[in-house]
Chain A
Amino acid sequence: MKKIFYVLAFILLVNNKITAQENNKFSTGEIHGNFQMMAQNYLVDSTIGAKAVNEKIRMNSFANLNFIKGNFKAGIRYESYEKSLLGFDPRYNGSDITYRYATYTNDDLEFTIGNFYEQFGSGLIFRSYEERGLGIDNAMDGIRVKYKPTNGVYLKGIVGKQRFYFTKGEGIVRGLDAEFNLNEIFSNFLPEFNPANARYTYILGGSMVGKYQADNDPIRILPENVAAFSGRFNFISDKFNFYTEYANKINDPSLTNGFIYKKGEALFLSANYSVKGFSLSASAKRVDNMDFRSDRNADVNNLTLSFLPAISKQHTYALPAFYPYATQPLGELGEQFEVSYNFKKGSKLGGKYGTLVTFNFSNATNLDTTQTGNEQGYSANFWSKGKTLLYRDLNLEVVKKLSPKLKTTYTYMYQVFNKDKVQNVSGYGTVYAHIAVFETQYKISSKNTFRAELQSLRTKQDFGDWAVALAEYTVSPHWFFAALDQYNYGNAKEEKRAHYFSGSFGYTKNATRFILGYGKQREGYLCVGGVCRLIPASYGLSLSISSTF
């Protein structure tokens, strides 16, 4: 594989030289990329449990370089962990090229050699992706071919292995996805199907993914080839949208399911209706033994093939996100409902500038299961819920603009969080929390803005009550200053009632940002998209630089 890259690099070089000399007569190539660096020094604070590190300062950084010339693309990423920030897996250690690829595109055909990211449907049986901030990267290394044989038919084929820190996982992954846009297919002979004027759109899709991993276990007979299948359907009209996807997996005994030979399945349903100023949406999900990975011995977020995010609302304020829910891939039944209404400007509730109200409800329980006492592990009743509540979230958000300068947001929520089951710990039980957030933003001038947040979380369980205050001052387009205090005033242990104070400022110029921060960070889960990572408590100075070029 490496040799191919040298050859490609050489071709690039020669090509560039030629075209560059020809005074731009032909389109020359382009090179772009981005760079990100995050460094922190660690000081000790025994109250919050912040630890020092031998290296004093730790740093994560990476840079991407992408080259494009006509139909040809190639690129590399260089990553460096000297050593990795606390909370990242220690196997992120050292510096190396971790990603390199070359892609050729020609009309209806695209092929890639090297690394790539890909997703089939909503990712129930295959999603290869990256969340650099969480240390998640299960990039494929192999071959991908995308092909559009005729209008409305999209095929994708993949073969390769997944990234595992600085090495690759054992399992060989092979997959195929086909998507059929019925409107595009039939538009040639049925004009009412033409996407340009059709009232309804129908999209069908199906995929299969297989993995191979040798059985070196001297005791057990393990399946070396495990396959998963999925089918999906999407109906779209102007106001109404319906999506469903079903996935099924054959016996896949693994570390995460405790070596049971039961089949796995997952069903996802989602529907929404929306017009300007009003929207309604609902979704439901059932997951049963659907933890699918390219290595049966993998754990945490390593070598995942299936992507099963929670369907509950993703919160961004600090305290509402304090208890983040994550799907239980071994068994979960969840539903979610949301309604949004924008009271028009000038109406009674809308006031002079309008008011946006959003109500959201989500719920997740375990499955109704019976232990079978054999290699199947358990059987689950498809139509009934289990008795254990994993998560519930009821929340209401009101966004109100009071004047062109003043904007406020009020949020209230009630959360039930089964900490033992969701975080796989013991002795914490279930947390019942009332959370309120008030946010206000005042525009002092066209460039200067002040923003403040006051948040409260009240619970008798876990760490008890919390309060958060944030003040932020921005000067467009370059500067921001922020001060934050998180206070655990209701901790049952008095010595743990700590203030977590931190301050930061940042400078932005075009696509380059510098942020310097100092202070204490509480232990907590950092979540992006559907996945979370535990960040230990820390205290110290941090610097981050990012740039796109």
Chain B
Amino acid sequence: MKANKITLILLFIFSVLCVNAQDKLPAVNVKTIDGATFNTANINNNGQPIIIDFWATWCKPCVQELTAISDLYEDWQKTTGVKIYAVSIDDARNSARVKPFVNARGWEYQILLDPNADLKRAMNVGDIPHTFLINGKGEIIFQHAGYAPGDENELYEKLLESIKANAVK
């Protein structure tokens, strides 16, 4: 049995070698903040960059990060046209709390609810916060786990780089 399992893993690894990674977003059903079912294949920003940030109301560094970016979001939007999706992985204990939580803080993000971690799993996220940067072609070009104050600057630099790269092409 063990040998069979190893074969299976080897098959998987072998298929990796044959694969050209394009890093597209997976299509998973989540909920909008208004309770409607939303397929993540519909995440788009008309050819402009997208940031996806996994967070939860009980996660301090996540809230720190989103608060820090919130102060800069208007500027970022003006210069890069970026759109931020903040995906809350709060489960049934806290998911009803997400909307008031976001509003009290005045965040302007697109909020998605992923109460059973389906999107989190599909994007292979371990611990949160976890941030993805997606370029205008829908490819994941940068990701970051954890948050330390100042990390938003690195994210912004990557964002500017992606715009330049797109412009050159």
Cβ-defined contact, B145 with A447, below 8 A:
no
| Nearest chain B CB to A464 CB, angstrom units | 27
* Interface: A76 (CB within 8 A): yes
How many angstroms between the C-alpha atoms of A78 and B34 in the bound complex? 36
Which among B44-52, B73-81, B124-132 touches the partner chain?
B124-132
Q: Which of chain B's residues have a CB closer than 8 A to the CB of A76?
A: 8-9, 12
How does the 8 Å CB contact mask read for A1-24 relative to B, with 1 for contact and 0 for none? 010011001101100110010001
How does the 8 Å CB contact mask read for B135-155 relative to A, with 1 for contact and 0 for none? 000000011111011110110
* Interface: A513 (CB within 8 A): yes
* Interface: A480 (CB within 8 A): yes
Cβ-defined contact, B106 with A29, below 8 A:
no
How does the 8 Å CB contact mask read for B39-81 relative to A, with 1 for contact and 0 for none? 0000000000000000001111000000000000000000000
Q: Which of chain A's residues have a CB closer than 8 A to the CB of B99?
A: 241, 272, 274, 279
Cβ-defined contact, B145 with A512, below 8 A:
yes
| Nearest chain B CB to A401 CB, angstrom units | 9
* Interface: B19 (CB within 8 A): yes
Cβ-defined contact, A13 with B14, below 8 A:
yes
Q: Which of A234, A272, A275, A477 is the most central at the interface, judged by chain B CB atoms within 10 Å of its CB?
A: A477
* Interface: A256 (CB within 8 A): no
Given contacts A31-B16, A316-B60, A474-B149, is CB(A118)–CB(B35) below 8 Å? Answer: no
Give A235-263 interface residues, CB cut-off 8 Å to B: 236, 241, 243
* Interface: A157 (CB within 8 A): no
Majority DSSP secondary structure for residues of A touching B: strand
Q: Which of chain B's residues have a CB closer than 8 A to the CB of A309?
A: 91-93
Given contacts A13-B15, A34-B125, A65-B12, is CB(A508)–CB(B92) below 8 Å? Answer: no
Cβ-defined contact, A476 with B8, below 8 A:
no
Q: Which of chain A's residues have a CB closer than 8 A to the CB of B7?
A: 6
Which among A44-52, A80-88, A119-127, A214-222 touches the partner chain?
A119-127
* Interface: A97 (CB within 8 A): yes
Q: Which of chain B's residues have a CB closer than 8 A to the CB of A480?
A: 148
Least CB separation from A548: chain B residue? B124
How many angstroms between the C-alpha atoms of A548 and B130 in the bound complex? 10
Least CB separation from B145: chain A residue? A511
Query: Which of B9, B36, B96, B106 contacts A78, CB < 8 Å?
Result: B9
Using CB atoms and an 8 Å cutoff, list the residues of chain B in contact with chain A: 4-5, 7-9, 11-12, 14-16, 18-24, 26-27, 29, 34-37, 57-60, 90-97, 99-101, 103-106, 115-118, 121-127, 130, 142-146, 148-151, 153-154
* Among all A-B residue pairs, the 7 with the closest Cβ atoms: A476-B150, A279-B100, A309-B93, A340-B104, A474-B148, A274-B103, A16-B18
